[in-house]
Amino acid sequence: MAVILSAEHISKSYTLKKLITDATVYIGEHDRIGIVGINGTGKSTLLKMIAGVEEPDSGTVMRRNGLRVSFLPQMPDYRQSRTALEQVLLDSPKDVGMPDEYEARALLMQLGIEDCNADVCTLSGGQKKRVALAAALIRPVDLLLLDEPTNHIDAQTVQFLEDRLAHYRGALMMVTHDRYFLDRVCSRIAELSGGELYMHDGNFSYYLEQKAARLDMANAQARKRSSILRREIEWIKRGAQARSTKQKARIQRFEEMSAIAGPQEEQKLSLTSTGTRLGRKIIECEHVGKAMGGEMLLRDFTYTILRDERMAVVGPNGCGKTTFLRMLAGQLAPDSGTMTVGETVRVGFFTQEFPHVDPKLRLIDFMRDIAEYVETPEGRFSASQMLEQFLFPPDVQYTPVEKLSGGEKRRLYLASVLMASPNVLLLDEPTNDLDIATLETLEDYLETFQGAVVVVSHDRYFLDRVAGRLFAFEDQKLVQYICTFSDYLEAHMQKDAPVREKKEEPAQRERRKELRMSYKEQRDYETIDARMAALQEKLEEIDRQVQKHASDFVRLTQLGEEREKTQKELDEAEERWLYLTDLAERIEQQKKA
């Protein structure tokens, strides 16, 4: 496959923060590369350098002559008053010919923008994203660069985009946290971690397998090195004399191994349950109706949210999902019907937009404005400790909010919502701008959260894992389904019969083969130390005999052969000891798990 773009040994820093160090990537003419990594590692920066929007501090980015590139930024910046149609024509790639208005209108309609003459300054975040998508996709190019293309768009649009990219003829590189999207569109995964770039062939599922194997190998090497070091330490403690060349080399090897750093564990978000006591009465909706801007959104909705509810609200953009959450949060009153909230309910509302704060406000002050301390089952946490749990170490906590990336702001906002100790969580598009590692941790947290959760999201993977009940906006009503979001979406897209209620089947737990030692391995493990000690003593005795018979050539020959044989036995015993020690440690870890 011909290479159309090469980025070699590129590095990038912002102030004192080193984002990318000596990264190299080659893009072939039919590559489909997904960039993953935790927020703040430089994914968008890498994409911008490849797009030519930013220059690397060092290294080179080389493009094939005449390479046609289209770039979708994470946050389209539409400040000047233009129609959606005018914006698409203006932002379309300049080196592939100007598209005609018919093409632009058709694509906008496919992406859900019905009014092509709407002013882009008045559009919602999701609608602006669709306009920017239309501009990026309007003409085929050699290299399509997309930064968070699935953010702020509904599931039907994601499906349309997925199908379009699956048949895209040029090369594709994108940043996204949509795991199903990565699995179905990408054939290579670029992982940014600790400033390093790791390339993996295969889709996202295969990447996870490769990464697990890479970490297992690194940990196995670390365990082996640790076992050797423990044995060498015991040897040195016995008073090893650094007289012979062999002994000097052994001490040098010990020092070199001691200096090797073990595998670096990735930073992982730690979410601690902070909910307060919740009574029996949560939120009761009776015949609720709501209209906005003269348009009816919801009619006659009746439902009682339960104490341990895991409820998802789905539907196309603009149908009223956010309005419904705002009514649950008490920010909007229904036009008809009633919403009754229990006395012990404390709502935590995670909205789509980061709260308006002074951009110069420091992270620690942002958290302290909510609470100085929060009580958790693990103890009392200060605002600073809570920030640390959300991967903001002390040296970062005095950074102004304006210095954070979009994903880091979302993580900070999530920390602030949980800092208030809610017992009912309302989450409006929580997956936007959050990295995959944070999403996985949030999913785990919601499984054990002691309270009710109502979530609005278009992330299929997230909803499949989190939601046990769906309410879909259909003809100005919320219709209840008990199924996964993927099943609902498939039936809805195909206009099949209504989704039938599914009986939950007991999860089939993957049976792991239990580690254990065989009878021979157990006997060897119990006697191997004594055997190695005996062989070591035998070697030392042979060395003494060599000095004693230094002038006897025949005897020296015999001793040389005997020493070689004994050394071989000792080497084999050491290999066996390493294997058995590693096996014993893994068995012990299995018992603890």
At which residue do the structure tokens 């018979």 appear? 549
Q: Residue 569 is inside which H or E element, if any?
A: helix 553-592
Give the contacts of 421 (CB within 8 A, at least 6 positions apart). Answer: 274, 275, 276, 346, 371, 374, 375
The tally of CA atoms less than 13 A away on the side-chain side of residue 352 is 16
The per-type count for the chain, helices as H runs and strands as E runs, is 17, 20
Within a 10 A sphere around the Cβ of 104, how many other Cβ atoms? 23
* The pLDDT of residue 372 is above 50: yes
| Residue 510: half-sphere exposure toward Cβ, Cα within 13 Å | 1
119, 81 Cβ separation under 8 angstroms: yes
Task: Please state the rounded mean pLDDT for residues 130-143.
Answer: 91
Q: How confident is residue 502, by pLDDT bands cut at 50, 70 and 90?
A: very low
Query: Which DSSP category does 332 fall into?
Result: S
- β-strand pairing of 469-474 with 452-456: unpaired
Cα 361 from Cα 463, distance rounded (Å): 34
Question: Tokens representing 21?
Answer: 């160090």
**pLDDT value, residue 504:** 43
325: confidence class by pLDDT, cuts 50, 70, 90: very high
What is the distance between the alpha carbons of residues 404 and 411, in angstroms, rounded to a whole number? 10
Structure confidence at residue 272 (pLDDT): 58
Residue type, 480: Q
Q: Please choose, from the candidates 465, 417, 475, 457, the residue with its C-alpha nearest in 3D space to the C-alpha of residue 441.
A: 465
The angle at the Cα of 327, spanning 298 to 157, to the nearest 5 degrees, equals: 60
pLDDT score of 354: 84
Whether the Cβ atoms of residue 363 and residue 387 lie closer than 8 Å to each other: yes
Q: What is the mean pLDDT of residues 364-391?
A: 83
Q: What does the angle CA 111 – CA 112 – CA 114 come to, to the nearest 5 degrees?
A: 125
The yes-or-no verdict on residue 245 having pLDDT over 70 is no
How many Å apart are CA 339 and CA 492, to the nearest integer? 29
| Three-state secondary structure readout of 244-255 | CHHHHHHHHHHH
Could you tell me how far CA 511 lies from the centroid of its own chain? 26
| φ, ψ of residue 116 in degrees (nearest 5) | -70, -15
**Is residue 311 pLDDT above 90, yes or no?**
yes
CA–CA dist 346, 502 (Å, integer): 32
Angle, vertex CA 176, rays to CA 171 and CA 179, nearest 5: 105
What φ, ψ does residue 515 adopt, rounded to 5°? -75, 135
Q: Assess contact for 269 and 438: CB atoms under 8 A.
A: yes
What is the reported pLDDT for 560?
Answer: 85
pLDDT of 307 strictly over 70: yes
**Other residues' Cβ atoms within 10 Å of the Cβ of residue 266:** 12
Higher pLDDT, 180 or 247: 180
Cα separation, 239 vs 216, in Å, equals 35
Rounded CA-CA distance 57/13 in Å is 7
Secondary structure (3-state) at 479: strand
Q: Is this model's pTM higher than 0.95 or not? A: no
Burial environment of residue 520 by CB neighbours within 10 A (0 to 12, 13 to 18, 19 or more) = exposed
Residue 20 sits at the vertex; the CA angle it makes with 3 and 269, to the nearest 5 degrees, is 120
Is residue 567's pLDDT more than 50? yes
Compute the mean pLDDT over every residue in the chain, rounded to the nearest whole number: 82
C-alpha–C-alpha distance, residues 53 and 68, integer Å: 14
CA dist 587 and 593 (Å) reads 10
Tokens of 115: 């009014």
pLDDT in tens, 331-356: 999 999 999 998 889 999 999 888 88
Q: Which stretch of DSSP H or E encloses residue 530?
A: helix 519-548
